[in-house]
Structure 1
Amino acid sequence: DYEAARDNGVLFNPIVAGKERDSWNNVLEVSSVKFRNGTFKGEYQDEILKDFFATLAEEPHWKIS
């Protein structure tokens, strides 16, 4: 999803695995406000993407021996 958003020049708000409830609450309480007032892009989006990528495993669990 992120790559498709990036490739098409659109904003992306990830839902972080293991933090789904917090992620959705953030969409409702913070991200939507920042989107409406034009402050989502840039520092804020970079911050939430950093958290998102930090939670991704390098190898899927089924490939780890």
Structure 2
Amino acid sequence: MPVRQLPPVNDTLEQQQRGWACIWCRTWLPVGLSTDLGQQRVIPETGAAYLWFPRECLNTAACAEREATFR
């Protein structure tokens, strides 16, 4: 489980939802070089429930620096 609260799924890119890019800094994540934050279930107000699969960078300090550029 993530230490930080995940952003709302609607505020993320498809690449972040699928675990291809870091949930925090949007950096592309090669296989095996990230931390899996667990399968997340979304139950929207309308429509069917679905799953998303956030991951984050292993180097959290570098990730935080990159994330600051998106704010």
Task: Give the structure-1-normalised TM-score.
Answer: 0.25
Task: Give the structure-2-normalised TM-score.
Answer: 0.24
| Greater relative contact order (Cα < 8 A, sep 6+) | 1
Q: Which has the higher helix share?
A: 1
